[in-house]
Structure 1
Amino acid sequence: MLSEQFSDLTEKGKAMDDYLRVADELAAEITAGRLRPGDRLPPQREFARRRSIADSTAARVYKELARRGLTVGEVGRGTFVRAAGQVPGPALAEPAGARVDLELNHPVVPEQAGLLAHGIGPLLRPDVLESSMRPVGVAGTPPARELFADLLAHAGWRPDPEQVLFAGNGRQAIAAAMATLAPPGSRLGVEELTYPVLKAIANRLGITLVPLSVDEAGLVPEAIEAAARKAALTAVYLQPTLHNPLSITMPLGRRAEIADVLERLGLHAIEDSVWSFLNDGLPPLAALAPERTVLVDSLSKRLAPGLTVGCAVVPRAISSSMATALRSGGWAPMRFALDAAARWLGDGSVQSVGRAKQRDAAVRQELAARLLGGFSIRGAPHSYYCWWELPSPWRADTFVAAAARRGIAVTPAAAFAVGRYRAPNAVRLGLASPPTEILSRALGALAELAGSAPDDLMAE
């Protein structure tokens, strides 16, 4: 009797070794890239026959791979290798471990993958795919221009589709607008705290950025005039809606004042509206000064940065120069991305994901308001970031380093400051990237950190 029990235990142990061994082999294939994200594994019975193992062992192998976060099962479709970025990892680890990223903002909502997968499916038909693999110019296609004009339309304004040009992403569209309006050696007015990538683009293009004052309503019109009197400005870059990093949305009256200044001084503006889909109740500056404004937008925040398209609504007088800048910079869009975007716009996926992200941003702002309510925090109901004026005696650089020791990355104000403008003692928190439960823990940890003194940290 005892020998039979021992034999049963031996067989069970062998079966366990078998499924773990096979799971380890498949895991190695995935890690090495021989099985790639999106690859479909064979049905379990077929897999069992190929490996000469029992069906029950194959089932345990698939279950183990899913447990490790290497595969995902889809009802009615099968089991697929999961993308590496989807594999769950530890949060708020020690510095040597995983990092909670409150620097970059990559908003993702649960429903977007399903919506986008459904919309992109028809593109994978061989005849359609062949067409989408061909090059496309910066003017895109007529259907894409119409659909993007619809996307950008709000508050009674809709751009002329013939004025829409395309780039690979929003950064490229901004760079092309800068290259069009501000030749090397010229001066471009910008808000004194601005999008950090803009500073890098200006440096590469040989453009001097001139910091312009900002108040509670956004860019101050008189600051543009004062800077232009001091030395010629060639153009102005601004973010009227959900300014990054301050989350300010410029009221209609201020937009009208800016439009008047542009007309009076003969200046063009580059209007960055990448975040405007979260708060689109006001007409853009381009609606008030259509012949003076290049409006730039993209799908990177509305959808995802991995497959995006940038666009610009360009005044007719400079459309040819802008198209030349896009082509010469190598900034034309990819046809596949443009066709995918057109399908997502046509079936309503972009709009649905945008509404979901509005709700998601509101939840995250509520978290920040609750967990950091005792501090000086600036945000907006549908913004994916907030601005934190740090309590004394913390300095921004010291706080960033202390947060990093806790595995949390935040951005110091200096990253946004232009020229010799003295950066305030503040940090920006990007709220979009971590799952909400991890964001909650991270914000709680930062609140605890800010409530201590830097000397307390040094004593740890």
Structure 2
Amino acid sequence: SGTAAARREGAALLGVTDPEAVLFAANGRQAVAGAVAALVPPGGRLGVEPLTYPVVKGLLARIGVVAVPIAADEHGPRPDALAEAHRRAPLKAVYLQPTLHNPTGLTVPPERRAALAETLEAARVPLVEDRIWSFLADEPPLAELLPGRTIIVDGLSKRVSPGLTLGLLAAPQGLRGPVASALRGGAWQPTGYALEAATGWLADGTVAALAAAKRRDAASRRDLALERLGGFAVSAAPRSFFCWWELPSPWRAEAFAGAAARLGITVTPGAVFATAPDATPAAVRLGLASPPHGELARALDALADLARRGPDAAHRG
């Protein structure tokens, strides 16, 4: 799909050498939908991280795909857990966010990436690699280690603005036909306007300039969050528009989110991301992208105070 110029610019963005590998969707979410639908039939099993993008959870429920959580540690999904899940019942594919994982901010280190690629290759299981936040990091695609089995998905809305909703995919030759068919069947193809605008902005450097500015802003906001939440178990990538906060006892994530809401602050409890109901973390995701810096600082200070006071004091007001 798309013009030769669009595919050429898309290939450069995705870090692939063959422009013919590039396909387009209406947005990043629909790019994920097209990739998953191409690989996993209704009733099929898709390996996912224990915490994953909530939109993917909803997508899998709609298309009847079974999410299979792959146990993880501080380095990301465990290869032995992946192999065991596939032995129990075959996985049709695996969906991962190895770079700037949402919600934890983790980037899987090189040794773990290599082990995951080796495990997937041995099992002959394809990978959907979601790189929607990768422009804030420097790591190359995991697909470089598993080129014949990986569909890369990405989008422009995070890099540019929510108004430019173009999804991009790069698929190996044997999977391009199924992905293209899934995108057509789901009516997930882009508008001509979005494709033309994106091609022009990619070619003239606008997208790169906006992404560079966002990298600087993300670093500043992340530093502000770690400063204002010092002393708490908060993790965030060096450049990130969100952070992951493991709450101090006795807080529960839902109670903290409710108390924050009463202060006019929105945080997302860990259960929203959990793919296994018995593995809900006492943690919340904080979005850092939208408020002006001064407003963000005040909100972070209020959350820190709330966490220190504890749920009983917060409930009493």
TM-score band, normalised by shorter chain:
over 0.9
**Candidates 100, 104, 114, aligned match of 1:256:** 114
Tell me if the contact between 1:242 and 1:279 (Cα under 8 Å) persists in the aligned partners.
yes
Tell me if the contact between 2:270 and 2:280 (Cα under 8 Å) persists in the aligned partners.
yes
Deviation track 1:146-165 (CA, whole Å, cap 9, x = no partner) reads: 01111122xxxx33100100
Instruction: Measure how far apart 1:175 and its partner are.
Output: 0.4
Instruction: Measure how far apart 1:228 and its partner are.
Output: 0.7
State whether structure 2 residue 19 is matched by structure 1 residue 161. yes
In 2, Cα distance between equivalents of 1:160 and 1:253: 27
Deviation track 1:289-343 (CA, whole Å, cap 9, x = no partner) reads: 1110000000010011222210100111111111010001001111111110011
State whether structure 2 residue 8 is matched by structure 1 residue 146. yes
> The residue matched to 2:187 in structure 1 has which SS?
coil
Deviates more, 1:416-425 or 1:298-307: 416-425
The runs of 5 or more residues in structure 2 that have no matched partner are: none
State whether structure 2 residue 194 is matched by structure 1 residue 194. no
**Candidates 143, 156, 180, aligned match of 1:323:** 180
In 2, Cα distance between equivalents of 1:335 and 1:202: 28
**1:19-418 counterparts in 2 under 5 A?**
139-153=1-15, 158-280=16-138, 282-418=139-275
Tell me if the contact between 2:14 and 2:170 (Cα under 8 Å) persists in the aligned partners.
no
Instruction: Measure how far apart 1:419 and its partner are.
Output: 2.8
> The residue matched to 1:271 in structure 2 has which SS?
strand
| Identity among equivalent pairs (%) | 55
Amino acid at match of 2:254: D
In 2, Cα distance between equivalents of 1:366 and 1:179: 39
With the length of structure 2 as denominator, give the TM-score of the two structures. 0.98
Instruction: Measure how far apart 1:255 and its partner are.
Output: 1.3
Say if 1:315 and 1:421 are closer, same or farther in 2 by CA, change over 3 A. farther
> The residue matched to 2:219 in structure 1 has which SS?
helix
Amino acid at match of 1:197: V
Tell me if the contact between 1:211 and 1:421 (Cα under 8 Å) persists in the aligned partners.
no
Tell me if the contact between 1:245 and 1:428 (Cα under 8 Å) persists in the aligned partners.
yes
In 2, Cα distance between equivalents of 1:400 and 1:283: 35
> The residue matched to 1:408 in structure 2 has which SS?
coil
In 2, Cα distance between equivalents of 1:379 and 1:425: 17
Deviation track 1:433-455 (CA, whole Å, cap 9, x = no partner) reads: 11111111110110011110211
In 2, Cα distance between equivalents of 1:314 and 1:453: 49
Deviation track 1:364-420 (CA, whole Å, cap 9, x = no partner) reads: 111111100111111111111111011111111111000000000100000000033
> The residue matched to 1:363 in structure 2 has which SS?
helix
With the length of structure 1 as denominator, give the TM-score of the two structures. 0.68
Deviates more, 1:214-223 or 1:322-331: 214-223
Match of 1:134 in 2: none
Say if 1:147 and 1:328 are closer, same or farther in 2 by CA, change over 3 A. same
How many residues matched? 317
In 1, Cα distance between equivalents of 2:291 and 2:131: 24
Alignment RMSD (CA, Å) = 0.9
In 2, Cα distance between equivalents of 1:372 and 1:274: 26
In 2, Cα distance between equivalents of 1:307 and 1:279: 21
> The residue matched to 1:290 in structure 2 has which SS?
coil
Tell me if the contact between 1:159 and 1:313 (Cα under 8 Å) persists in the aligned partners.
no
In 1, Cα distance between equivalents of 2:223 and 2:67: 35
> The residue matched to 1:189 in structure 2 has which SS?
strand
In 2, Cα distance between equivalents of 1:334 and 1:354: 22
Instruction: Measure how far apart 1:258 and its partner are.
Output: 1.2
Amino acid at match of 1:382: R
Deviates more, 1:293-302 or 1:303-312: 303-312
In 2, Cα distance between equivalents of 1:308 and 1:315: 24
